[in-house]
């Protein structure tokens, strides 16, 4: 059957009718106002040839699904049960992913009684538990089944307030995060199946027209935060609505990523309609024999129609990232079409679900940034000391270990923030390797004390102490001018200094002091010293290296760089100011690597700064004052020294390092366009030419 070309041109009236009717059902409009729209319920078929009242059997009539394997979540009742029955009727092998396996087995028996040839398996899956999702995925993959279709159908609708075992809003986790993790865990299996079978894989997210009412967008700060235990903020309807926006955004961003990979898998979201199933159990006016339920609400067979249509109908081949209503492409809300929001939602979901095996790191980071009570992370801290990565080093490797046997004689390095913490340890170990280190410090008295301590241990250390206040552009320029006047070469620039979540304060240059200290000061310093580094690299024939100390916190810059709010004291958020400054560090290194690459004289590497050391870095946050079980300072400079000195890193530029190994940064941190914009913005503020 040829796919009607006008399916993409579905009228706005089509969706307006759905919206107005739904508004009335949810109490947003007086019911009498939607009477004209109710007439739409009884109109004819849409461009696909199907209508609101088409059943799942009708939309799959004549389609042979033999050889396909599908997973259907929430398959023990309602739309999921009917989807399972009809897919099995068309020859598809269906794996029922259900929370209650006993109920699942009863459904399986009922289907087999009607269709003895049905091929059905029942497996346990509780989307409200990330551990259960991982167990299900692991068990499914161990069976060796292919996977052609993933129907993310399960959901809850406006339940009372409750947290999941993972301390996340249970409704949001069940409706979105659980499916997000499940999809990521099974994606490689789907890709493999698509390649081997030469059949298009399909992912279907069951969403709702309710996504249109997410007027406040995704409330990232309320999904997982200490205040989540305060039931007063919870709104059951909005909790549902934002989870449904997340479903649509998930399919949209997944489509983008799959297309970039050239994988033959499509991902779409579907609104099944207002269906009288158990999901409505918390809204009595839609249950039972009420007039609304009797005359306006679909039955399960009609509700499953769009899911089955998008899952196996040939009309849908090659169509991805779309929103379907009643087996026709429809118009989603403008928020659901927001590509930037889709990317932010992806990063946020990834950080909470650990879909790429960074659970321990993310759990600890969530505590540092106020998303979790810190006490929950103590067990994870104990597991910091993991096995070695590809570099041969691990989280527990020390700075001395990663530079063992490396001779830095003849090299000159500048280390900012060298009077305490990571900076002082970086200075000590570089000097131990024979590097001439210039300590760039705000407090020269403290710097001289560190120098004396190092010389006491290593009398041959070559160290200079110079004043540098990154919170003042005049100070940065004075430091650079003084350094160049000394005639020193410059092989290594370690942009290490930083502050973490201080109270709101403007610098002498009328810029957010935290953003200027963590990013702009280093940006200006790097630009002022770049010609010296290029000259040194040319004359010495030794690769120059620039290291920007960033943070895993960059992952939480969900709204990106707030260019228009950098200097706005009224909207200052000490945590967000920090995370966006760390994102800026990575973008700086990325853009700098791009600009330096043609010259092959120098390169920059950026890395994750460990935030688990009892150093003055945390002086502005009281919650960390009593945390005495942090890693010792000797671990803290390992990655700085490794990136600055180790031959393994030669020629590698623009990368993000964690624990002396290349790691995966957030999608925003990889955005080349954003990196260019950040560079131009920083240039305009620093006038660094």
Residue 446 lies in a domain: yes
pLDDT of residue 465: 98
- With a cut of 90, say whether residue 481 has pLDDT above it: yes
- With a cut of 60, say whether residue 414 has pLDDT above it: yes
- With a cut of 80, say whether residue 38 has pLDDT above it: no
Residue 52 lies in a domain: no
Look up the domain containing 594 and give its range. 392-684
Which of 354, 377, 410 is a domain's end point?
354
Residue 383 lies in a domain: no
End-to-end Cα separation, the chain, in angstroms: 62
Total count of domains within the chain = 2
pLDDT band at 41 (very low <50, low <70, confident <90, very high): very low
pLDDT band at 55 (very low <50, low <70, confident <90, very high): very high
For tokens 């089509």, the residue is 14
**How many whole angstroms from its chain centre is CA 192?**
24
Nearest to 352 by CA among 186, 158, 133: 133
State mean pLDDT over 137-164.
93
pLDDT band at 347 (very low <50, low <70, confident <90, very high): confident
Strand partners, 270: 206, 324
- With a cut of 70, say whether residue 289 has pLDDT above it: no
Which of 305, 325, 354 is a domain's end point?
354
Nearest to 168 by CA among 27, 379, 349: 349
Residue 51 lies in a domain: no
Q: What is the C-alpha to C-alpha distance for residues 102 and 132, in angstroms, rounded to an integer?
A: 17
Q: What share of the chain is helix, strand, coil (3-state, %, to 5)?
A: 50, 15, 35
pLDDT of residue 687: 81
Clarify whether residues 302 and 438 are in a common domain: no
Q: What is the C-alpha to C-alpha distance for residues 592 and 653, in angstroms, rounded to an integer?
A: 9
- DSSP readout, 295-318? HTSB-HHHHTHHHHHHHH-GGGTT
Clarify whether residues 339 and 442 are in a common domain: no
CATH label of the domain that carries residue 439:
3.40.50.720
- With a cut of 90, say whether residue 309 has pLDDT above it: yes
Residue 412 lies in a domain: yes
Sort 670 into a burial class: Cβ within 10 Å, 0-12 / 13-18 / 19+: middle
Clarify whether residues 159 and 301 are in a common domain: yes
Which of 354, 378, 409 is a domain's end point?
354
Pick the residue with more confidence: 365 or 322? 322
Strand partners, 589: none
Nearest to 74 by CA among 102, 94, 104: 104
Query: Is residue 425 within a helix (H) or strand (E), and if so which, with residue range?
Result: helix 421-432
Clarify whether residues 304 and 410 are in a common domain: no
Strand partners, 268: 204
For 174, the token pair is 């069940």
- With a cut of 60, say whether residue 192 has pLDDT above it: yes
Nearest to 176 by CA among 257, 81, 101, 241: 241
| Contact assessment for residue 20 and residue 34, using Cβ atoms and an 8 Å cutoff | yes
Clarify whether residues 147 and 88 are in a common domain: yes
Clarify whether residues 128 and 272 are in a common domain: yes
For tokens 């551990």, the residue is 131
Q: In what order do the strands lie in the sheet with 492-495?
A: 462-467, 436-441, 412-416, 492-495, 544-550, 602-608, 656-658, 661-663
Q: State the alpha helices, DSSP H only, in 499-636.
A: 513-515, 521-540, 574-596
State mean pLDDT over 557-573.
83
Strand partners, 131: none
Clarify whether residues 310 and 417 are in a common domain: no
Nearest to 52 by CA among 301, 320, 294: 301
Backbone angles phi, psi at 462, to 5 degrees: -110, 105
For 151, the token pair is 């129907």
For 135, the token pair is 């167990």
Alpha-carbon dihedral sign for residues 588, 593, 594, 595: positive
Clarify whether residues 300 and 420 are in a common domain: no
Residue 22 lies in a domain: no
| Contact assessment for residue 603 and residue 586, using Cβ atoms and an 8 Å cutoff | no
Pick the residue with more confidence: 619 or 174? 174
Nearest to 265 by CA among 184, 336, 161: 184
Q: Report, in angstroms and rounded to the nearest whole number, the Rg of the chain calculated over CA atoms.
A: 29
Q: How far is CA 419 from CA 103, 285, 641, in A?
A: 64, 67, 16
Clarify whether residues 299 and 430 are in a common domain: no
**How many whole angstroms from its chain centre is CA 482?**
43
pLDDT, the chain, mean: 81
pLDDT band at 233 (very low <50, low <70, confident <90, very high): low
| Contact assessment for residue 286 and residue 292, using Cβ atoms and an 8 Å cutoff | yes
State mean pLDDT over 33-49.
58
Q: What is the C-alpha to C-alpha distance for residues 373 and 394, in angstroms, rounded to an integer?
A: 27
For 625, the token pair is 């004052």
Pick the residue with more confidence: 535 or 9? 535
pLDDT band at 13 (very low <50, low <70, confident <90, very high): very low
- With a cut of 80, say whether residue 626 has pLDDT above it: no
Nearest to 361 by CA among 342, 344, 385, 345: 385
Question: Any idea which residues carry the catalytic annotation?
Answer: 234
Backbone angles phi, psi at 656, to 5 degrees: -115, 125
For 58, the token pair is 């009708």
Residue 13 lies in a domain: no
The least confident of 92-106, 166-180, 364-378, 530-544 is 364-378
pTM of the shown model: 0.53
Q: State the alpha helices, DSSP H only, in 198-219.
A: none
- With a cut of 80, say whether residue 114 has pLDDT above it: yes
State mean pLDDT over 191-206.
96
- With a cut of 70, say whether residue 121 has pLDDT above it: yes
- With a cut of 60, say whether residue 25 has pLDDT above it: no
Residue 202 lies in a domain: yes
State mean pLDDT over 240-265.
94
Q: What is the C-alpha to C-alpha distance for residues 447 and 444, in angstroms, rounded to an integer?
A: 5
State mean pLDDT over 311-337.
94
Clarify whether residues 505 and 648 are in a common domain: yes
**How many whole angstroms from its chain centre is CA 340?**
12
Clarify whether residues 407 and 465 are in a common domain: yes
Q: What is the C-alpha to C-alpha distance for residues 625 and 654, in angstroms, rounded to an integer?
A: 35
- pLDDT tens by residue, 435-480: 999 999 999 999 999 999 999 999 999 999 999 999 999 999 999 9
- With a cut of 90, say whether residue 555 has pLDDT above it: no
- pLDDT tens by residue, 648-680: 878 888 888 888 888 888 888 999 999 999 999
Nearest to 346 by CA among 257, 237, 225, 286: 257
pLDDT of residue 651: 82
Clarify whether residues 442 and 311 are in a common domain: no
| Contact assessment for residue 164 and residue 131, using Cβ atoms and an 8 Å cutoff | no
pLDDT band at 559 (very low <50, low <70, confident <90, very high): confident
pLDDT of residue 637: 53
pLDDT of residue 111: 97
pLDDT of residue 275: 73
The least confident of 119-133, 154-168, 618-632 is 618-632
């Amino acid at each position: 059957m040829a796919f009607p070309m006008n399916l993409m041109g579905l009228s706005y009236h089509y969706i307006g009718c759905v919206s107005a009717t739904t508004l009335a059902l949810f109490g947003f409009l007086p019911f009498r106002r939607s009477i004209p729209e109710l007439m739409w319920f009884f109109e004819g078929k849409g461009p696909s040839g199907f209508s609101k009242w088409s059943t799942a059997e009708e939309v799959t009539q004549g389609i042979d699904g033999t050889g396909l394997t599908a997973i259907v979540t929430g398959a023990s009742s309602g739309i999921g049960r009917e989807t399972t029955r009809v897919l099995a009727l068309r020859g598809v092998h269906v794996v029922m992913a259900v929370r209650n396996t006993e109920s699942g087995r009863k459904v399986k028996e009922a289907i087999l009684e009607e269709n003895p040839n049905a091929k059905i398996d029942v497996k346990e899956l509780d989307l409200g538990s990330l551990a259960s999702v991982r167990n299900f995925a692991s068990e499914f993959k161990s069976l060796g089944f292919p996977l052609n279709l993933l129907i993310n159908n399960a959901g809850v609708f406006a339940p009372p307030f409750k947290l999941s075992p993972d301390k996340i809003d249970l409704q949001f986790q069940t409706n979105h995060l659980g499916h997000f993790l499940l999809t990521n865990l099974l994606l490689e299996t789907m890709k493999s199946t698509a390649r081997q079978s030469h059949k298009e894989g399909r992912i279907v997210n069951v969403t709702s027209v309710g996504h249109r009412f997410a007027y406040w967008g995704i409330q990232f700060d309320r999904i997982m935060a200490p205040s989540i235990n305060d039931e007063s903020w919870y709104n059951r309807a909005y909790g549902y609505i934002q989870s449904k926006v997340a479903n649509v955004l998930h399919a949209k961003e997944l489509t983008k990523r799959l297309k970039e990979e050239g994988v033959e898998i499509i991902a779409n979201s579907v609104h099944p309609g207002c269906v009288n199933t158990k999901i409505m159990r918390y809204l009595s006016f839609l249950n039972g024999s009420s007039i609304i339920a009797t005359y306006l609400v679909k039955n399960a067979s009609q509700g499953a129609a769009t899911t089955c249509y998008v899952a196996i109908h040939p009309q849908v081949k090659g169509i991805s990232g779309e929103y379907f209503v009643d087996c026709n492409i429809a118009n989603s809300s403008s928020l659901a079409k927001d590509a930037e929001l889709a990317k932010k939602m992806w990063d946020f979901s990834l950080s909470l679900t650990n879909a790429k095996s960074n659970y321990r790191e993310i759990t600890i980071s969530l505590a540092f940034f106020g998303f979790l009570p810190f006490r929950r992370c103590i067990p994870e801290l104990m597991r910091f000391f993991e096995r070695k990565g590809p570099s041969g080093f691990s989280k527990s490797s020390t700075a001395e270990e990663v530079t063992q046997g490396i001779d830095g004689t003849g090299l000159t390095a500048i280390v900012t923030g060298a009077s305490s913490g990571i900076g002082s340890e970086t200075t000590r170990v570089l000097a131990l390797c024979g590097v001439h280190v210039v300590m760039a410090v705000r407090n020269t008295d403290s710097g001289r004390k560190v120098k004396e301590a190092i010389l006491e241990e290593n009398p041959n250390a070559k160290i200079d102490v110079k004043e540098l206040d990154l919170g003042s552009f005049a100070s940065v320029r004075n430091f650079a001018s003084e350094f160049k006047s000394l005639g020193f070469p410059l092989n290594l620039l370690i942009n290490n200094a930083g502050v973490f979540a201080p109270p709101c304060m403007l610098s002498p240059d009328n810029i957010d002091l935290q953003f200027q200290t963590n990013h702009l000061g280093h940006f200006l310093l790097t630009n002022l010293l770049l010609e010296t580094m290029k000259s040194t690299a040319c004359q010495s024939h030794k690769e120059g290296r620039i290291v920007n100390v960033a943070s895993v916190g960059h992952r939480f810059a969900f709204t990106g760089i707030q260019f228009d709010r950098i200097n706005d004291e009224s909207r200052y958020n000490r945590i967000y100011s920090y995370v966006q400054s760390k994102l800026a560090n990575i973008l700086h290194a990325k853009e700098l690597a791009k600009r330096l690459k043609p010259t092959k004289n120098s390169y920059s590497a950026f890395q994750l700064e460990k935030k688990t050391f009892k150093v003055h870095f945390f002086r502005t946050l009281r919650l960390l004052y009593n945390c005495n079980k942090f890693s010792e300072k000797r671990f803290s400079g390992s990655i700085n020294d490794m990136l600055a000195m180790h031959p393994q890193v030669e020629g590698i530029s623009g990368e993000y390092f964690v624990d002396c190994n290349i790691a995966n940064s957030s999608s925003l941190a990889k955005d080349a366009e954003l990196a260019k914009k950040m560079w131009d913005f920083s240039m305009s503020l620093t006038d660094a030419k």
